[in-house]
Amino acid sequence: MATNVIMPKLGMTMTEGTIIKWHKKVGDAIEEGMPLFDVETDKLTNTVNANVSGTLLKISVPEDGTADCLAVVAVIGSEGEKLEAEPAPAAAAEPAAPQTESGNDLIVIGGGPGGYVAAIRGAQLGMKVTLIEADAVGGTCLNRGCMPTKALLHSAEVYELATHSAGIGIVANDVSVDWNAVQNARAGVTKKLTDGVKALIKANKITLISGKASFADPKTVSVGGRILTAGKIIIASGSAPIVPPIKGISECGAVIDSTACLQLDHVPESLLVIGGGVIGLELGSVYARFGSKVTVVEMSPKLLPLMDSELTAMVRRQLETKGMEILTESKVVSVENCGAGGRVHIECPNGERTVEAEKILLCVGRKPNIEGLGLVKAGVKTERGYIQVNDRMETSVPGIYAVGDCNGKLMLAHAAMAMGETAAENAAGGSKTFIAAYSPSCAYIGPELAGVGYTEEQLKEKGVDYKVGRFVTAANGRSLVSGHVDGMVKIIAGEKYGEILGVHIMAPSATELIEEAALAIRLEATVDELVDTIHCHPTVSEALREAALAVDGRAIHPFRCFPNFPGGCVRFVHSLTPR
């Protein structure tokens, strides 16, 4: 006789459980005591063992399905045993009009870094939160942006080290790339991170709804036939790639976006990148390390247009030294199919060029993803496609907030997270502001590059007197050990008081070092205060302190033979006032 398998009640407060894994499938032989399924609650994960022997005849609750305690989740019986037929469903009734689901304190639209962080912070503050995601939890960053790119980059860095370490006595013969394993590692990182976010959402008792949300009015949202209301709503809808009006771009089969570039089934022989921003250079440097011939086309006079010009010029030299071709002040005018993949016609300063490549990566920027949100019905104002917000992340409509790429303040995942926390705290009655100047920017290109605060160009435009200290990594012991001797740390400080106005780093782990600089700017620290902070030896961080010393011409370890800086650790003063 068949025996029902029920969802066990594993604790006093447990009311339901989610089956995250079945160890057996229908038709498998079951022995009493063997693991049958894993169940997850908001507090623990347990393996449930079979309490009878027999054959697994039916699974009623699939993986990722939730069941109330004591509900039937499976049936075990004798092989070939017929189960009682389930009653036929009743005749379909006329569909009822959807009822409004009230009771939410906060609705968050978008489950990327800005959205899921806002949802979690709102829940921490005691709000009843519903999170709506149209695609995959984790957004662009975790699924097809920051994290999968860094996974590929790590594989590329390890390969480069394995093939370029003979100078320090490490000789590796016949090193090869298992591309399927590289891609599996990338996918594995994404799954672990997105599963982790889902667990956090569940642990914080946030209701997760899959679907595309649209405003019906300032406090009402519809999604998949459901209507929800909340006192506060946070928009975190992210961004989408821009597709420029280049002739032939849609017809050429070789053209790919960054998502497709992450998932290629092989390393292309050649890759032409349209766009010299962070995304294009990161992916270009990945494939260049794996052996692709990479060409980058950028319309602006320099790469990474928003970052420090002096350091981006150094980045360009290093990338060119590694074999990448960089074409700045150049414009792609048309693209067409050819035997090699795609043929690209480019207007360059010295005339037109034609470049053929197996793949053409299009990444010229991103635009806010607000189509279909019904912002007009909510009364939310936009400007140039971006949702307008104040420094509290509140839109033109009180109680509606917008964070991350959709507001255009800073299109960076870490900035979106900070905005999400700001919006959630204000939605809960707080008074918190987001200050973009305190948020660092970064690029993982080979030499890591990071910056926070003002650049020299920005200070010149503002008419601010400043002084600069530079320290090259060739004079830093830890950088010398690792072979990264072609970087620099640059500190810009106010001429009169020495307050730190900007820090720009191209060095090993630059993205880890920049947080100290961001904190210094946030606390309005001076170069003297940074100098008085003792740094561990030997570390790359010592270069930050030496650059602070160099602001006033007193670096302890100047490197006077560095070819691009014949004066050693250069002190530079830019003043608009007569001396």
Smallest CA-to-CA distance from 527 within 511, 510, 545, 513 is with 545
| Residue 103 tokens, joined | 């009771």
- Active-site positions read 537
Give backbone dihedrals phi and psi of 420, rounded to 5 degrees, phi first.
Answer: -60, -45
- pLDDT, residue 577, reads 46
The CA-atom distances, in angstroms, between 38 and each of 4, 17, 58 are 17, 10, 16
Give the global pTM. 0.82
Instruction: Tell which phi-psi region holds residue 286, choosing left (phi > 0), alpha (psi between -120 and 50) or beta.
Output: alpha
| 528 CA to centre of own chain | 35
Smallest CA-to-CA distance from 443 within 548, 267, 315 is with 315
Report the sign of the C-alpha dihedral through residues 319, 255, 309, 349, in that order. positive
- pLDDT, residue 561, reads 46
For tokens 């020299």, the residue is 456
| Residue 146 tokens, joined | 């920051």
For 456, other C-beta atoms within 10 Å of its C-beta total 20
**Helix%, strand%, coil% for the chain, nearest 5:** 30, 30, 40
Give backbone dihedrals phi and psi of 515, rounded to 5 degrees, phi first.
Answer: -65, -35
Outline where DSSP puts E strands in 473-527: 488-494, 500-506
Cα separation, 407 vs 382, whole angstroms: 9
Each residue's pLDDT tens digit in the chain (579 positions)?
Answer: 688 888 887 766 677 888 888 999 998 998 888 889 888 876 567 888 888 888 998 998 988 888 888 888 889 888 877 776 555 555 555 656 678 888 899 999 999 999 999 999 999 999 999 999 999 999 999 999 999 999 999 999 999 999 999 999 999 889 999 999 999 999 999 999 999 999 999 999 999 999 999 999 999 999 988 999 999 999 999 999 999 999 999 999 999 999 999 999 999 999 999 999 999 999 999 999 999 999 999 999 999 988 999 999 999 999 999 999 999 999 999 999 999 899 999 999 999 999 999 999 999 999 999 999 999 999 999 999 999 999 999 999 999 999 999 999 999 999 999 999 999 999 999 999 999 999 999 999 977 999 999 999 999 999 999 999 999 999 999 999 999 999 999 999 999 999 999 999 999 999 999 999 999 999 999 999 999 999 999 999 999 999 999 999 999 998 764 444 433 455 555 555 443
β-strand 270-274 against 293-297: which pairing, if any? parallel
Task: Tell me if residue 416 falls in helix, strand or coil.
Answer: helix
The CA-atom distances, in angstroms, between 66 and each of 136, 215, 377 are 19, 29, 35
Evaluate whether 327 touches 280 at the Cβ level (below 8 Å).
Answer: no
Evaluate whether 500 touches 525 at the Cβ level (below 8 Å).
Answer: yes
Report the sign of the C-alpha dihedral through residues 47, 52, 56, 57, in that order. negative
Evaluate whether 504 touches 440 at the Cβ level (below 8 Å).
Answer: no
- pLDDT, residue 11, reads 66
DSSP annotation string for 185-248: HHHHHHHHHHHHHHHHHHHTT-EEEES-EEEEETTEEEETTEEEEEEEEEE---EEE-----BT
Evaluate whether 368 touches 362 at the Cβ level (below 8 Å).
Answer: no
For 418, other C-beta atoms within 10 Å of its C-beta total 24
Residue 122 belongs to what H/E stretch?
A: helix 113-124
Smallest CA-to-CA distance from 247 within 386, 328, 343 is with 343
Smallest CA-to-CA distance from 455 within 258, 294, 312, 273 is with 312
Q: 342 pairs with which residues across the strands?
A: 337, 357
For tokens 């623990």, the residue is 44
For 261, other C-beta atoms within 10 Å of its C-beta total 25
